[in-house]
A and B are shown apart, each in its own frame.
Chain A
């Protein structure tokens, strides 16, 4: 069965299990390198977890839509949610931990997403957060 290019999730952390299946199925269909698919899976997981944990201010309702597309050079993941406005591109990256004792627990998601993406764009539109994550595909082997 063909993996759709979009996935709609309810505001429920149990929904994260569908994310991996969707990303890996879509990546296989489109010949996306395994390494790139892993990066998409990881960044999608971090972003959606953050939205579900902080984006709906305790409300049960809420929807998150993800869309995947690709070119020869890039994979593009769009994540749209109707939670509170949050621009992760403007968020300060937590300082690198210095010692185990002084390390702040949490805040790693932003560092991870910035490390594994080529570009992150954000816009607020019609009461929705629209986040675009761009991943670089490794060059295909010459024939």
Chain B
């Protein structure tokens, strides 16, 4: 898997993941992903557009990091999942604990609203 980041002008850290998020793929990005989402009060948008497959092991990384982020006053949003990945997230019930947005603009507004309400 590949992981790229970009600090957006609106203060949001964009994390772009690419590749199959199975055991092998998740192991390749897990440490970097966890470190990126450990900053205090960070607002993190995770772009899943280039992730064609998400297994439980990948969900574990997303949820663990989102929880760590929340414990430090930050927030995570998932952005633009492919149909199978979106269905997988919903099947696992993740959409009820990490918001999923169709595009980065919506995610940005959602993250800033979440930050404003604490």
Contacts and interface: CB of A to CB of B under 8 A. Distances in A.
Contacts of A96: 93, 96
Interface in B49-96: 53, 55-57, 59-60, 63-64, 66-67, 70-71, 84, 87-88, 91-94, 96
Interface residues of B, number: 26
Contacts of B88: 42, 112
Contact of A111 (B63, B67, B70, B93): B93
A108 B53 contact: no
A49 B63 contact: no
A87 to B, nearest CB: 19
Interface stretch (B5-13, B16-24, B104-112): B16-24
A13 interface: yes
B38 interface: no
User: For chain A, what secondary structure do more than half of its interface residues adopt (helix, strand, loop), or is it mixed?
Assistant: helix
A13 B57 CA distance: 12
A49 B88 CA distance: 16
Given A97-B93, A97-B97, A106 B60 contact: yes
Nearest to A50: B56
A108 B96 contact: no
16 contacts: A16-B22, A16-B24, A20-B20, A20-B22, A35-B84, A38-B84, A96-B93, A96-B96, A97-B93, A97-B94, A101-B67, A106-B60, A111-B93, A112-B56, A112-B91, A112-B92
Interface of B: 20, 22-24, 53, 55-57, 59-60, 63-64, 66-67, 70-71, 84, 87-88, 91-94, 96-98
